Amino acid sequence: MNGRPDAPPIIAIAKIKNAMRICALDEHARTLGLHKGQTLSDARALVPSLECFDLDMAGDGNLLAGIAGWCDRYTPLVAIDGSDGLFLDISGCTHLFGGENALVEDIVTRLRAQGFSVRAAIADTPGAAWAMARYGTETIVPAEKTRDMIGPLPLAALRLEAQTVTDLNRMGLKTIDCVADVARAPLATRFGSDVLRRLDQALGREDEVISPLTPVPELSAERRFADPIALQDDIEHTIRQLASHLKTSFEQRGVGARRLEMRLFRVDGQVQSLAVRASTPLRDADRILSLFKERISALHDGLDAGFGFDLVRLNILECDAYDSRQIDLIDGVGPEDETHALIDRLGARLGTDRVRQFARADTHIPERSFGTVPASLARPGKQDEAGFDLGLTSSQTLPLIRPVFFLNHPEPVEAIAGVPEGPPIRFRWRKALYEVTRSEGPERIACEWWRDGRNALSRDYFRVEDQVGYRFWLFRHGLYERETATPQWYMHGLFP
């Protein structure tokens, strides 16, 4: 962090080894002779006017995550390194910014303008870049000069444990060149294999993979502005242009967009993200724009443009095979387009989890055979984690063998049957007595032993009708004398 020239130096402190020590400090404090690890009492003795604050690890983590999100403007592969660093995989990205030097200069200039103290370096390996950024003086490390440039750096530049560095220094090994030239087997035996692993990673002998914060989108399009934009009309116009630009890529791949994200980069470093989901694969720019318009309208305070956005990016996070259906020659839309458009609009405004549809599950237990899933997730032939079919429910008319109204939980009834395994002739439910005039059944449904256990009871379902004409669906729980001596009766649903 940068200090304020007209104010006392600032430090962040935490309790380390039973003493309050400096964990972070600004440039002003550093120029006065303070350093990390120094005790607070010693620091106050040198600088009585010192301002100190307790170290906020959670706040620092959120700030670093925010900076990582801002760095997405340079590359989608951004990973957090510890509590105060970032790794950016810029492979294939440097030409977009005028080369490596221009890219580094742009990152450093922008972050310093936001009030941060920044050190950056570019190398072929994460280890070499880390070492040069923290302990070196160069910005660019050519691949052929990696060993020569990081060799004179101290061993701490290899990301080793502090105790390991201390032990190596006691043996007279103080630089990377020192450990690179000694025999590997004795070095690993005495100080552990981590020394060789970090050395090989820095020199490119062993691959090191960084874990980006967010997955790389399947497709992406962006537009940069020399003069930042702030009006919603300009943002919507940009979204439509980006969506139109991606249409060719959709057609070449034979897919359409199912989940999309718009990222707006403000000039002050803030990043806003808006995500939408479509109920069917989309290619049309107007449909994509309408989703984001609904999403923006649902925001409580709208978009906070600040001093404007200098970069707008449209990411396609998820694609699906595009079905080129026959369209109406007069209206120019397919038979299901209006339904999907309504689902998308409601989902963008209210949230995709709130717009739901009925779905079936592959089970014969009635209360488990249906449920609701987000309508935007509908996908023929697919199932969700709970086993529900994500395909749209069929409109085919089926015989009414199940009641229209199901109880949330089967309710106990008192029933009298003519024979132990026969239908009820009279039952009492919710304190009302019903006389059965007609019945149909039983429909026997066995338990699902893999869920309920092998001792779970079977069910015999009956459709019955009383003297007034009311029709009920109830079942006897347990097979008489085979599973239980006293079967219980339950009401499960009502027919119209």
Tens digit of pLDDT for each residue in 307-360? 899 999 999 999 988 876 545 444 445 556 677 788 888 887 888 788 888 787
What does the pLDDT read at residue 336? 60
Encoded amino acid at 247, one letter: K
Fold classification of 219-349 is: Dna Ligase; domain 1 (3.30.1490)
Domain residue limits, the chain: 10-55, 121-203, 219-349, 405-494
Specify which residues 282 forms β-bridges with.
Answer: 257
Cβ 483 vs Cβ 468: under 8 Å: no
C-alpha 331/C-alpha 347 separation (Å) is 24
What is the residue type of 151? G
Over residues 184-210, the mean pLDDT reads: 91
β-strands 432-445, 51-54: how paired? unpaired
Give the long-range contacts of residues 65-70, CB within 8 A, separation 24 or more.
Answer: 65/213, 66/269, 66/270, 66/271, 67/111, 67/116, 67/269, 68/213, 69/213, 69/271, 69/273, 70/265, 70/269, 70/270, 70/271
For residues 171-198, give the mean pLDDT: 91
The Cα 126–Cα 179 span in angstroms is 19
Closest CA to 459 of 433, 471, 441, 437: 441
Q: What is the domain class of 10-55 according to CATH? A: alpha beta
Q: If DSSP codes are grouped into helix, strand and coil, which group holds residue 41? A: helix
Right CATH for 121-203 from 3.30.420.40, 3.50.50.60, 1.10.3720.10, 1.10.150.20: 1.10.150.20
Average per-residue pLDDT for the chain: 87
Buried b (16+ CB within 10 A) or exposed e, 417-426: beeeeebbee
Higher pLDDT, 284 or 374: 284
Largest Cα span, the chain: 101
Q: Is 209 exposed, middle or buried (0-12, 13-18, 19+ CB in 10 A)?
A: exposed
Characterize the bridge pairing of strands 255-266 and 405-417: unpaired
Confidence grade of residue 141 (pLDDT, cut at 50, 70, 90): very high
Strands of 309-321's sheet, edge to edge? 219-229, 309-321, 255-266, 271-282
List the alpha helices (DSSP H) in 394-462: 449-452
Helix axes 126-135, 193-203, angle to 10 degrees: 90
The C-alpha atoms of residue 143 and residue 132 are separated, in whole angstroms, by: 13
Asked if 491 and 410 touch (Cβ cutoff 8 Å), the reply is yes
pLDDT value for 473: 95
pLDDT of residue 388: 62
Residue 54's CB is within 10 A of a number of other CB atoms, namely 11
- As a whole number, mean pLDDT of residues 464-482 equals 93
Mean pLDDT over residues 262-272, rounded? 91
